[in-house]
């Protein structure tokens, strides 16, 4: 099977197993754990505010990252309907941009094609570590389409993915991208590789607790 | 404590302890002090005081040195982990526990006494049982009650416990074949003038016989000759350099430090060279960075305000004149730390970090920096009149005299300079307001009186005395001064403790009088119930300025009953304060002066002279006895 097709199936599996909480309670719990993990992952002194649920059943969260000169707030309605605004005050003009995903508009239906192709089982049995690493790179660590944000910390590269349509994958990739600690980023890459591989092979959902753990570096 | 390897580590300035702590966060701020401490650890055989101001990094430095020391302490004592409201029994119990623990680790014959039976009703050889009772880790009411009872028993037989502890220490040293190495931590938590510090004198006397490292506050390093800490080798941790503090803060910020190094430098300026103050400023700064709509200057200002609130919420405030002088001169005379009654409040200012010690100068003065956090608090409050002018104004008001033209001219024609405050005061005295008998003793008593009897001191003092014969003359002189110089009223009562008398009622009735200072002499034997009752009435004394005169031996038995009350009082030992300020030569000179005076004076002052001579005779005998004992 062609490697790119294997990786396409892997991509979908990663999203399905780790970034697909269903139901309002699961979504709220996922985001709650995400917010709490930021302090230890970024090795900060304070926890960010915990997320809130609006009367319209949207989950709103925010964090300040003054050390990088940026802060963000986001609203998650569902897996594929959310918005995230990032204020970057380190730049002279204090730029603000928002990342919106609205399923009301057409988006390339990759899953439909993969389902029709019927190659999932073959892809799962054929993938190697390099395939999984490439998928995690493309989804989280180094999205192919991304914008750079300047960090005040030396050698800290922030690549905000422009094409991530899954709310939870987007938030999770922000956690990685905004972390300035190179050793920790490397440890996180290794950790996720070891976390996803058995989960994909045995078709087991990855819990939010396991996903949000902070690696030792 | 869990640390972030690469990110921020902001705590309240907790001492570094684990290998990870030191690897990530330690900075060698005081290489010379570490070098001297290392030398003492490897070669010293006598006691050493390691002193520093609160938050200067004493405990961290000691832990760092101990990590690489060739030999760990044989005995480790923590005097600050129980509570800070301790009495003699508590201190001796901690010492005894440490010695027994070490003794049981070596083949030492402990049959020289039956302390387990005598103290705890155990078998005479059950030293392990005694240790378990003294250092119980069982969390139960029964265990705690037993421990308290043991400590009270220790307090009640303190002289015996001292001799047992002394023997234990000696036997351990003999067994080891070298000086017993003891680390006594936590003494820095006890203010030199506190009842607790007085209560630890016996424990200190035992410890100083050995190679003991005392962890003390900088204020303890300026102990007078009457202090149990006097005469030991000492090391002071000074304020750190600003550049070092900046580096320390950078480390605390991890990867986030370098981009804001300049801001950290600003915070370092406000730290005064005190590491803990710097870390607190940083922690508050990080907290306020989360608040929206604040620029950098506002964030720093808020951090300063929060840190100032932490530091000085409960600290006693020194005199504005002292701080003004220190701010102008940038140095302090070390003799001020041992002035009787802490007249210039220098010692309490040092203890409370109102200023920081930097370096000892060739001129015999300490270079200091006023704590940057408090500078603004004083710059607005300083009086516009010099003290001597205020004194004149107050005197004029008291006696219904116009203040205009009162007192001598401020200009010294002979020297063509403005006269100093001391000069003016002396001229007022010489002009007929009073004829002082100017001797070293009277000068010392004057200083003590001014410290104890000032209307500005809203506090309470216990004056313990060892010899009742000097109590009367010293008190008579002091109280006479109270009603002449300080323009305040002072009333005195002597209450004889007795089972059949309601001493506390007498005291309470006395406190109803309208006066400024209440002076109470405790005589006789106060029953335990009355002592306990006084402790319960503590809150009623908060607004009163009181002097309590208590025999020294009695005070030691009273203090355990005054668990709450003793926190309110500063304690002075009269003979120690006088002896601490007078040398043998001073005493001899004063005695010669009085002997000459007796030939010429037949006025009412003759009685004063006779009283003062009694004080001097006693002090000379005590000084000679001390010299004789070496």
Do the chains contact at B259 and A42, CB–CB below 8 Å? no
| Predicted local confidence at residue B232, as pLDDT | 94
How large is the average pLDDT for residues A36-54? 89
What is the DSSP track for B313-327?
SSPPP--HHHHHHHH
Name which of A192, A200, A195 is nearest A120 in CA terms: A200
pLDDT tens per residue across span A138-155: 999 999 888 888 888 988
Cβ distance A73 to B299 under 8 Å? Answer: no
| Predicted local confidence at residue B387, as pLDDT | 47
Which band of pLDDT confidence, cut at 50, 70 and 90, is reported for residue A209?
Answer: very high
| Predicted local confidence at residue B203, as pLDDT | 96
DSSP state letter for B334:
G
Exposure on the CB side of residue B341, measured as CA atoms within 13 A: 24
Of B7, B259, B260, the CB nearest to A44: B7
Contacts of A207 (CB under 8 A, 6+ apart): none
**B257 to chain A, minimum CA–CA distance in Å?**
9
Q: Give the residue with greater pLDDT, A83 vs B470.
A: A83
Which of A67, A70, A152, A154 should one mutate to test binding to chain B, selecting the residue with the greatest count of B CBs within 10 A?
A: A67
Cα–chain center distance at A100: 15
Do the chains contact at A43 and B8, CB–CB below 8 Å? yes
**A82 to chain B, minimum CA–CA distance in Å?**
25
Cα–chain center distance at B5: 39
Distance of alpha carbon B179 from alpha carbon A132, whole angstroms: 66
Distance of alpha carbon B279 from alpha carbon B273, whole angstroms: 11
| Predicted local confidence at residue A103, as pLDDT | 79
Judging contacts by C-beta atoms under 8 Å, the chain B residues touching residue A37 are none
Distance of alpha carbon B446 from alpha carbon B422, whole angstroms: 13
Residue with tokens 């002979």: B414
| Predicted local confidence at residue B380, as pLDDT | 47
Distance of alpha carbon B616 from alpha carbon B630, whole angstroms: 21
Do the chains contact at A180 and B255, CB–CB below 8 Å? yes
Do the chains contact at B256 and A180, CB–CB below 8 Å? yes
Which band of pLDDT confidence, cut at 50, 70 and 90, is reported for residue B443?
Answer: low
Give the nearest chain A residue to B286 (CA atoms): A45
pTM over 0.80: no
Least confident of A115-129, B86-100, B448-462, B561-575: B448-462
Which band of pLDDT confidence, cut at 50, 70 and 90, is reported for residue B429?
Answer: very low
Least confident of A96-105, B433-442, B574-583: B433-442
How many other β-carbons are positioned within 10 Å of the β-carbon of residue B113?
A: 15
- What are the φ and ψ backbone dihedral angles of B333, each rounded to 5 degrees? -80, 120
pLDDT tens per residue across span B401-422: 444 444 445 566 667 776 655 4
Contacts of B573 (CB under 8 A, 6+ apart): B198, B226, B463, B464, B465, B466, B552
Do the chains contact at A66 and B259, CB–CB below 8 Å? no
| Predicted local confidence at residue B628, as pLDDT | 65
Q: How far is CA B240 from CA B49, B112, B132, B245, B609, in A?
A: 19, 49, 43, 7, 51
Which of B3, B20, B252, B256 should one mutate to test binding to chain A, selecting the residue with the greatest count of A CBs within 10 A?
A: B256
Size of interface A-B (CB pairs under 8 A): 44
What is the DSSP track for A147-210?
EEE--SSTT--EEEESS---HHHHHHHHHHHT---HHHHHHHHHHHHHHHHHHHHHT-PPPHHH
| Predicted local confidence at residue B481, as pLDDT | 60
How large is the average pLDDT for residues B353-358? 92
Which band of pLDDT confidence, cut at 50, 70 and 90, is reported for residue B285?
Answer: very high
Ramachandran category for residue B9: left, alpha or beta (phi over 0 → left; psi -120 to 50 → alpha): beta
Of A42, A64, A180, the CB nearest to B290: A64
Cβ distance B49 to B235 under 8 Å? Answer: yes
Of B6, B259, B290, the CB nearest to A43: B6
Average pLDDT score over chain B? 82
- What are the φ and ψ backbone dihedral angles of A101, each rounded to 5 degrees? -130, 125
**A48 to chain B, minimum CA–CA distance in Å?**
9
Judging contacts by C-beta atoms under 8 Å, the chain B residues touching residue A67 are 256, 259-260
Cβ distance B617 to B591 under 8 Å? Answer: yes
Least confident of B284-298, B329-343, B610-624: B610-624
What residues of B are in the A interface, CB distance below 8 Å?
A: 4-8, 10, 254-256, 258-260, 283, 286-287, 289-290
Distance of alpha carbon B535 from alpha carbon B548, whole angstroms: 14
- What are the φ and ψ backbone dihedral angles of B464, each rounded to 5 degrees? -90, 140
Do the chains contact at B6 and A64, CB–CB below 8 Å? no
Distance of alpha carbon B1 from alpha carbon B11, whole angstroms: 10
Least confident of A60-74, B99-113, B393-407: B393-407
Of A45, A153, A183, the CB nearest to B286: A45
Do the chains contact at A217 and B5, CB–CB below 8 Å? yes
**B137 to chain A, minimum CA–CA distance in Å?**
34
Do the chains contact at A153 and B258, CB–CB below 8 Å? yes
Residue with tokens 């605004």: A85
**A67 to chain B, minimum CA–CA distance in Å?**
6
How large is the average pLDDT for residues B434-456? 59
Least confident of B253-257, B278-282, B302-306: B302-306
Distance of alpha carbon B412 from alpha carbon B421, whole angstroms: 12
Judging contacts by C-beta atoms under 8 Å, the chain A residues touching residue B256 are 67, 153, 180
Q: What is the dihedral of CA B299, B301, B305, B307, to 10 degrees?
A: 70
DSSP state letter for A2:
-
Judging contacts by C-beta atoms under 8 Å, the chain A residues touching residue B254 are 43, 181
- How far separated are the first and last CA of chain A, in Å rounded? 36
Q: How buried is residue B292: exposed, middle or buried, by Cβ count under 10 Å (0-12/13-18/19+)?
A: exposed
How large is the average pLDDT for residues B167-176? 96
Distance of alpha carbon A75 from alpha carbon A95, whole angstroms: 19
Do the chains contact at A152 and B259, CB–CB below 8 Å? yes
Name which of A79, A83, A103 is nearest A12 in CA terms: A79
DSSP state letter for A139:
I
Give the nearest chain A residue to B253 (CA atoms): A44
Q: Give the residue with greater pLDDT, B538 vs B93.
A: B93
- How far separated are the first and last CA of chain B, in Å rounded? 48
Do the chains contact at B256 and A181, CB–CB below 8 Å? no
Tokens of B386: 């010099």
Distance of alpha carbon B397 from alpha carbon B579, whole angstroms: 36
pLDDT tens per residue across span B26-67: 999 999 999 999 999 999 999 999 999 999 999 999 999 999
Distance of alpha carbon B563 from alpha carbon B217, whole angstroms: 23
**A155 to chain B, minimum CA–CA distance in Å?**
11
Contacts of B282 (CB under 8 A, 6+ apart): B10, B249, B252, B253, B264, B267, B303
**A5 to chain B, minimum CA–CA distance in Å?**
39
Q: Give the residue with greater pLDDT, B387 vs A15.
A: A15
Give the nearest chain A residue to B256 (CA atoms): A67
Do the chains contact at B255 and A181, CB–CB below 8 Å? yes
Do the chains contact at B6 and A152, CB–CB below 8 Å? no
Beta bridge partners of B359: B367
Contacts of B83 (CB under 8 A, 6+ apart): none
| Predicted local confidence at residue B219, as pLDDT | 92
Decide the pairing of beta strands B490-497 and B517-524: parallel
**A88 to chain B, minimum CA–CA distance in Å?**
14
Tokens of B78: 């923590």
Percent of chain B scored above 90 by pLDDT?
40
Max distance between CA atoms of chain B, in angstroms, equals: 83
Q: Where are the alpha helices (DSSP H) in B313-439?
A: 320-329, 346-351, 372-379, 387-398, 421-428
How many other β-carbons are positioned within 10 Å of the β-carbon of residue B509?
A: 11
Q: How far is CA B379 from CA B151, B368, B370, B376, in A?
A: 48, 17, 12, 5
Give the nearest chain B residue to A153 (CA atoms): B259
Look at residue B106 and tell me whether its pLDDT is greater than 80.
yes
Percent of chain B scored above 70 by pLDDT?
77
| Predicted local confidence at residue A23, as pLDDT | 85
Look at residue B296 and tell me whether its pLDDT is greater than 50.
yes
Do the chains contact at A45 and B10, CB–CB below 8 Å? yes
Cβ distance B556 to B199 under 8 Å? Answer: yes
Look at residue B133 and tell me whether its pLDDT is greater than 70.
yes
């Amino acid at each position: 099977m062609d490697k790119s097709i294997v990786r396409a199936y892997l991509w979908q599996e990663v999203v399905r197993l780790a970034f697909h909480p269903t139901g309002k309670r699961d979504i709220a719990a996922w985001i709650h754990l995400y917010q709490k993990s930021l302090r230890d992952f970024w090795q900060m002194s304070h926890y960010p505010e915990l997320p809130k649920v609006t009367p319209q059943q949207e989950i709103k969260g925010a964090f300040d990252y003054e050390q990088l000169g940026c802060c963000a707030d986001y609203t998650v309605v569902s897996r594929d309907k959310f918005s995230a605004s990032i204020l970057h005050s380190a730049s002279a003009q204090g730029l603000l941009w928002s990342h919106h995903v609205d399923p009301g508009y057409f988006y390339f239906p990759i899953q439909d094609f993969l389902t029709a192709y019927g190659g999932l089982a073959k892809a799962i049995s054929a993938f190697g570590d390099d395939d999984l690493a490439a998928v995690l790179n493309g989804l989280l660590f180094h999205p192919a389409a991304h914008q750079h944000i300047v960090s005040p910390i030396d050698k800290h590269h922030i690549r905000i993915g422009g094409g991530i349509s899954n709310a939870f994958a987007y938030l999770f990739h922000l956690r990685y991208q905004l972390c300035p600690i190179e050793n920790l980023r490397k440890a996180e890459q290794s950790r996720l590789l070891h976390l996803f591989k058995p989960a994909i092979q045995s078709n087991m959902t990855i819990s939010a607790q396991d996903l949000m753990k902070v690696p030792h570096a | 404590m869990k640390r972030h390897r690469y990110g921020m580590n902001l705590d309240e300035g907790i001492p570094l302890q684990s290998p990870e702590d030191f690897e990530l966060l330690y900075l060698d701020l005081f290489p010379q002090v570490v070098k001297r401490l290392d030398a003492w650890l490897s070669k010293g055989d006598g006691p050493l005081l390691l002193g520093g101001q609160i938050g200067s990094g004493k405990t961290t430095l000691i832990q760092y040195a101990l990590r690489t020391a060739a030999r760990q302490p044989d005995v480790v004592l923590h005097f600050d982990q129980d509570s800070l409201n301790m009495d003699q029994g508590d201190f001796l119990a901690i010492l005894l526990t440490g010695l027994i623990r070490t003794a049981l680790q070596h083949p030492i014959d402990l049959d020289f006494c039956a302390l387990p039976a005598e103290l705890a009703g155990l078998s005479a050889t059950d030293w392990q049982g005694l240790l378990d009772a003294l250092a119980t880790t069982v969390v139960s009411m029964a265990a705690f009650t037993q421990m308290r009872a043991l400590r009270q028993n220790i307090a009640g037989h303190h002289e015996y416990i001292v001799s047992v502890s002394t023997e234990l220490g000696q036997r351990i040293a003999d067994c080891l074949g070298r000086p017993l190495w003891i680390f006594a931590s936590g003494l820095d938590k006890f203010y030199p003038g506190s009842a607790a510090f007085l209560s630890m004198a016996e424990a200190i006397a035992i410890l100083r016989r050995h190679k003991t490292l005392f962890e003390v506050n900088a204020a303890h390093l300026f102990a007078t000759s009457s202090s149990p800490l006097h005469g030991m080798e000492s090391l002071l941790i000074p304020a750190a350099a600003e550049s070092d503090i900046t580096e320390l803060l950078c480390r605390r910020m991890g990867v986030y430090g370098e981009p804001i190094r300049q801001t950290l430098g600003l915070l370092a300026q406000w730290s005064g060279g005190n590491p803990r103050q710097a870390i607190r400023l940083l922690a508050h700064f990080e907290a306020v960075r989360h608040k929206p709509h604040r620029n950098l200057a506002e964030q720093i200002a808020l951090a300063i305000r929060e840190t100032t609130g932490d530091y000085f919420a409960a600290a006693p405030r020194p005199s504005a004149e002292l701080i003004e002088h220190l701010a102008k001169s940038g140095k302090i005379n070390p003799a001020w730390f041992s002035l009787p009654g802490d007249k210039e409040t220098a010692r309490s200012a040092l203890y409370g970090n109102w200023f920081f010690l930097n370096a000892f100068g060739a001129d015999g003065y300490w270079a200091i920096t006023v704590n940057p956090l408090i500078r603004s608090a004083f710059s607005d409050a300083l009086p516009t009149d010099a003290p001597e002018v205020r004194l004149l104004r107050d005197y004029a008001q008291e006696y219904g005299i116009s203040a205009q033209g009162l007192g001598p001219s401020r200009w010294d024609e002979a020297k063509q300079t403005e006269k100093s405050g001391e000069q003016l005061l002396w001229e007022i005295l010489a002009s007929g307001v009073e004829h002082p008998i100017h001797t070293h003793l009277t000068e010392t008593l004057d200083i003590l009186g001014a410290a104890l009897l000032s209307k500005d001191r809203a506090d309470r003092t216990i004056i313990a005395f060892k010899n009742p014969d000097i109590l009367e003359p010293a008190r008579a002189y002091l109280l006479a001064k109270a009603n002449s110089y300080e323009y305040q009223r002072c009333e005195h009562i002597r209450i004889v403790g007795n089972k059949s008398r309601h001493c506390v009622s007498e005291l309470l009735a006395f406190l109803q009088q309208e006066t400024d200072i209440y002076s109470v002499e405790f005589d006789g034997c106060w029953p335990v119930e009355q002592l306990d009752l006084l402790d319960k009435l503590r809150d009623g004394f908060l607004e009163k300025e009181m002097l309590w005169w208590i025999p020294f031996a009695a005070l030691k038995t009273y203090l355990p009953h005054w668990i709450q009350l003793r926190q309110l009082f500063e304690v002075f030992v009269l003979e120690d304060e006088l002896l601490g300020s007078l040398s043998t030569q001073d005493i001899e000179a004063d005695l010669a002066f009085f002997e000459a005076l007796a030939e010429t004076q037949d006025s009412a002052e003759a009685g004063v002279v006779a009283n003062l001579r009694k004080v001097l005779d006693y002090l000379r005998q005590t000084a000679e006895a001390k010299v004789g004992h070496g």
